[in-house]
Structure 1
Amino acid sequence: MRNTENVAAYVRASTDKQGSQHQRDDITYWCGQNDINTSSIDWYVDLAQSGSDPGRDQFRELTDAVAAGEYDRVVVWEISRLARLGSIYQEFFETAADNQTIVNITNGWTDTVRPDGTGKLIADISAAVAEEERRKLISRVNSGIKRARREGKWLGEVPVGFERNSEGYLRPLIDADPDEDSYLEIRNALEAIEDDESYRQAAMGLNTTRQTLSRIHQDEDRRQWYLDATAEDKRVEEALAEVQH
């Protein structure tokens, strides 16, 4: 490999919480092992971006640069970083092939896809297997969510003044830790607001912010959870049965 090559690297993470440093580290290590000057790599990074989105800013910019013949080589951590959909993935590789750009995958069944098609079949199989595994994972997750909802379990963020028990059901938080607010504390704060106390005053001494109190108070359904111990949501209604007697 030539040190004079123009090299780009692409990194993508699906969420803000999903780290990308391991991708950078793996790409940098691979390039170092293959005599590529790591200090001259142009990095293209999309964070909190789905691989099924063809409009990712950095991905489109990289694709346009490859189409313009700016790069001899593009390095990615694995194929799924480029795309989760076969059509997007194929378009990128066609652009690379048309412009004599080599694509390297540092964590895959093959590490090199050349413009003449060498390595492409293995890469295609790898991408197809990964896409099928993802479909199965999504199906299992969706089935689990549906089952949990049927059973009345609470999914997502737990409302203030509540807790999720070991079985996944929502329950009023009675004995709160110092960094939490109990159901009764939130109820008292909302009662004070009903008596014309300001959100700021009602939030004093609580971990819950005045903005959160304001959102609860202005949401008729949620306000009733605390002031009347009633709810239209069957899961919340069941939880509130503990404080209705």
Structure 2
Amino acid sequence: MQELTLNKVKQSSFSKKRCVGYVRVSTQEQAEEGYSIDAQIQTIQEYCQRENMECVGVYVDRGKSGKNIKGRPEMQQLLHDAENGDFDAVVVWKISRVARNLMNLLEIVNVLQKQDIAFYSISEKFQVDTTTGRFMLQIMASVNELERNQIAENVKLGMTKRAFDGGWNGGRILGYDNVENENSKKILQVNEKEAELIRLIFQEAATGKGYRAIANSLNRAGHRTKQGNPFSTIAVKDILYNQTYVGKIQYNKYEKWADKRRKGLSENAFVVEGQHEAIVDEALWQKVQLKLKASSKHPSWNKTGTSVLTGMIRCPECGSSMVINNVYNNLKDGTKKKIRYYSCSQFRNKGASVCHANSIQAELAERKVAEKLKEVVAQPEVLERVVERMNQQLQDREKPVKRELDRIKVEIAQKGSSTDKLLELMLEAPEIATDLNKRIKQLEQEKQALVQKERQLHRELSRDAQSVSLEEARRTLELLGRSIDGKRNKELKEIYKVFIDKITFDKKSKDVTLHLLFSQDFVRKLSHATERESSPTEGDGSFVLSQEFCLIL
């Protein structure tokens, strides 16, 4: 977005209203005429010019759905800047660019109105700074939502009917090509080369090979999925359970997939004979299903999620998260001892051709993490050294950013000066105005790109502007020490998730490094994690961090 250089001032009769634009296209809409980013920006800028408003920036969410605010970083930034008073109005091409449902739209408009920021929609021709305008906004948003829901219902009915008839509704699938028949309808046609790979996967599963062994074998042989990626255990599992390969169509297994994922099992799922040719015969299919059913009763690794560091500890080789793996050793007395290890999830999913196990004993890793935290809580001088080092790193990081900012400011001024000279020349020589206009437009585009870069750098600086306060760090860690003392694994994991960004370790020495991130609402999150009704610290209920800060231990 363009850099917002003006401070919030009271509007007067002679000052222009500062406005910003917001534009969005989803991935699906990017190819549709009229929805393009450039078209929306141009429409907004022309509107501002007509209404005698100064467009001081444009927030752009590219390839983002309007379903919610969370998935749109520029919308979040717009709302944050609105609270800082960086502009006086927001202009959009259509209200559908802002939100897809009425609740989200009203939430956004309410945030703006609390800051006395106007909201204008060009296509619907209304403003929400009047009672009538706000009423019209709600009506238009409700109509848009109704239309979308009706379209979705009609599409769903059509797809269900097609599936009942044995037709294919899905996307690309390994073993088949999507082609059109004589009626221009999409059908599955066997891709013989890929079909051989599918048969190989089923044959290996029929011999008792597990998902990881099959994935490892495929990756070593250079085989890839339909998307060109290495095979993972999930990819192999999905193939072995996919009834499409035995000539059937399964439909409506999940409902509201975008919200619930695999938890949203539908009661209206059905399986019918498909119109396509099977790749795997019924006998091989049944044999594999029996093997899968038998092996599923004896899971080879712990999926309970109670191991303290899962989701936080990272593979030292590829950086992926690590998962828990149980190994059983036979003792002299004949009993078995279970040893837990954290090992690379990429290795476990895709095999040794992608990464290696890089295992570390879970007990060792968990103990080292706890000891590091206790050390920095118990020894003030250790914390002091850590904070001093972090602040020095912040200062070092600022220097190149400031140099780049200085360079960009000079370049922006040069672009502005060049534009002014061309405008003067246009007055003196109107016969070359067309050529000059092209150059002026190009300079404006280059200037806009520079201003967006300048704003991004200002964001980086503002994040790092304040040094870490030793007193706040000390108080935070004391609070943390009291919260984790005596906790069981499940409780400890919830607390760790509040402030541990990631954990790395040295493959040889097994020394761990903690990357801690303390947000301003750390106390509230900690209280929620410990599931207490009150704040986790008596007398510290008003303790709020003045800024977010990081520590590396």
TM-score normalised over the length of structure 2: 0.35
- Matching residue within 71, 92, 117 for 2:87: 71
Q: Deviations over 1:17-54 (max 9, x none)?
A: 6343322222122223333344x32x222234332313
Question: Is the Cα–Cα contact under 8 Å of residues 92 and 122 in structure 2 kept in the other structure?
Answer: yes
Superposition pairs for residues 85-164 of structure 1, below 5 Å? 85-108=101-124, 110=125, 112-164=126-178
Q: Which residue of 2 aligns with 1:52?
A: 67
The structure with the larger Rg is 2
Task: Percent identity, please.
Answer: 22
- Matching residue within 33, 47, 57 for 1:30: 47
TM-score normalised over the length of structure 1: 0.70
Partners of 2:223 and 2:109 lie apart in 1 by 56
Q: Deviations over 1:176-220 (max 9, x none)?
A: xxxxxx4246527976x97x997576669xx98573699876765
The aligned amino acid for 1:183 is E
Question: Is the Cα–Cα contact under 8 Å of residues 78 and 105 in structure 1 kept in the other structure?
Answer: yes
The aligned amino acid for 2:277 is L
Q: Measured at CA, do residues 189 and 78 of structure 1 come closer, stay the same or move farther in structure 2, by a change above 3 Å?
A: closer
| Deviation, structure 1 residue 74 | 0.6
Moved over 6 A (4+): 212-218, 222-225, 234-237
| Deviation, structure 1 residue 168 | 2.8
Q: Measured at CA, do residues 10 and 161 of structure 1 come closer, stay the same or move farther in structure 2, by a change above 3 Å?
A: same
Aligned-pair Cα RMSD in Å: 4.0
Runs (5+) with no aligned partner, structure 2: 1-12, 31-35, 205-215, 250-270, 282-553
Greater relative contact order (CA < 8 Å, ≥ 6 in sequence):
1
| Deviation, structure 1 residue 14 | 2.8
Question: Is the Cα–Cα contact under 8 Å of residues 176 and 188 in structure 2 kept in the other structure?
Answer: yes
The 3-state SS of whatever aligns with 1:87 is: helix
Greater alpha carbon shift after TM alignment, 14-23 vs 144-153:
14-23
Question: Is the Cα–Cα contact under 8 Å of residues 189 and 276 in structure 2 kept in the other structure?
Answer: yes
Q: Deviations over 1:142-192 (max 9, x none)?
A: 1122112111111222324423332333222xxxxxxxxx4246527976x
- Matching residue within 17, 20, 31 for 2:37: 20
The 3-state SS of whatever aligns with 2:131 is: coil
The 3-state SS of whatever aligns with 2:17 is: coil
Question: Is the Cα–Cα contact under 8 Å of residues 3 and 35 in structure 1 kept in the other structure?
Answer: no
- Matching residue within 20, 28, 35 for 1:8: 20
Partners of 1:89 and 1:113 lie apart in 2 by 14
Question: Is the Cα–Cα contact under 8 Å of residues 80 and 130 in structure 1 kept in the other structure?
Answer: yes
Runs (5+) with no aligned partner, structure 1: 173-181
Across the two proteins, how many residue pairs are aligned to each other? 227
Partners of 1:133 and 1:72 lie apart in 2 by 32
Question: Is the Cα–Cα contact under 8 Å of residues 90 and 119 in structure 2 kept in the other structure?
Answer: yes
